[in-house]
């Protein structure tokens, strides 16, 4: 890849030149190749019209939630969701996310203690974003040992619906640096600007209010909820 064009530029501005349906998943998901001038990058394309109807989430909103989750992670400075944008594609508007090169054999259950700090950040994010679909294979480990989080279409519901496989830290204190960032976020709800304003424009007003309440709840509790002593290794 050339030095004058980042992969993010290609994903945002490039032309989708190939589009292959991913065989697994309840919603239509495509692995695409995107080209900008003479440079290419891989991405994951999720069109709005490929979303399967759900009884508890409004139709045609999952792609917006995927994008809002990326915005929230960026606003918090927790860089674990690959670059994501909303744009048009072969099957209409949807999200296009930068593909993360990873070992498909690695997932939540194969992670070592070296990933614990990264997992704590993602677990805290899931509480705030109300992640409803945190599966083992939604965590990707790249060659550098960085942990990435994908598939955030089921987030930001106004009702508490947290469903996750991450139980490692139940009853533990949430790290102070994470709470400090959430405290700053809470004050920003008074007059949202920048990415927070964009989140406000992307999700429903009731969901934005619920997001603020969850941040307040996490700050007041200060611990990871659940069953103390339960984690993926059964210790």
- What lies within 8 Å, CB to CB, of 177 at 6+ separation is none
Residue-range domain boundaries for the chain = 7-221
- What lies within 8 Å, CB to CB, of 6 at 6+ separation is none
- Helix-helix angle 62-76:194-202, to 10 degrees: 160
- 181: its two tokens: 């960032």
Q: How far is CA 225 from CA 81, 164, 230, in A?
A: 23, 12, 11
H-type alpha helices, the chain = 7-13, 62-76, 116-129, 176-188, 194-202, 205-221
- Taking only the tens of pLDDT, the chain with its 235 residues reads 333 459 999 999 999 999 999 987 789 999 999 999 999 999 999 999 999 999 999 999 999 999 999 999 999 999 999 999 999 999 999 999 999 999 888 889 999 888 999 999 999 999 999 999 999 999 999 999 999 999 999 999 999 999 888 888 999 999 999 999 999 999 999 999 999 999 999 999 999 999 999 999 999 999 999 765 555 544 3
DSSP assignment of 47-107: EGGGPPP-SSS-TT-HHHHHHHHHHHHHHHT---S--EEEE--TTSSEEEEEPPP--TT--
What sign does the dihedral 155-171-213-68 (CA atoms) show?
negative
- So what's the pLDDT on residue 4? 41
């Amino acid at each position: 890849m050339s030095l004058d064009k980042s992969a993010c530029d290609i994903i945002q501005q490039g032309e989708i030149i190939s589009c292959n349906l991913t065989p697994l998943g309840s919603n239509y998901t495509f692995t695409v190749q995107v080209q900008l001038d003479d440079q290419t990058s891989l991405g994951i394309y999720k069109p709005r019209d490929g979303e399967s109807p759900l009884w508890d989430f409004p139709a045609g909103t999952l792609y917006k939630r995927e994008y809002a989750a990326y915005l929230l992670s960026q606003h918090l400075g927790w860089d674990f969701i690959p670059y994501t944008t909303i744009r048009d594609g072969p099957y209409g508007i949807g999200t296009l996310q930068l593909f993360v090169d990873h070992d498909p054999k690695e997932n939540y259950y194969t992670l070592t203690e070296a990933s614990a700090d990264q997992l704590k950040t993602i677990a805290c994010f899931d509480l705030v974003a109300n992640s409803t679909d945190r599966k083992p294979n939604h965590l990707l480990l790249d060659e550098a040992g960085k942990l990435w989080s994908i598939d955030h279409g089921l987030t930001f519901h106004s009702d508490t619906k947290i469903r996750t496989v991450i139980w490692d830290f139940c009853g533990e204190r949430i790290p102070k640096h994470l709470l400090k960032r959430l405290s700053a976020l809470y004050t920003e709800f008074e007059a949202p600007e920048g990415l927070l304003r964009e989140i406000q424009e992307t999700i429903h007003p009731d969901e934005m209010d619920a997001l603020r309440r969850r941040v307040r709840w996490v700050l007041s509790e200060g611990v990871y909820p659940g069953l103390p002593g339960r984690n993926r290794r059964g210790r």
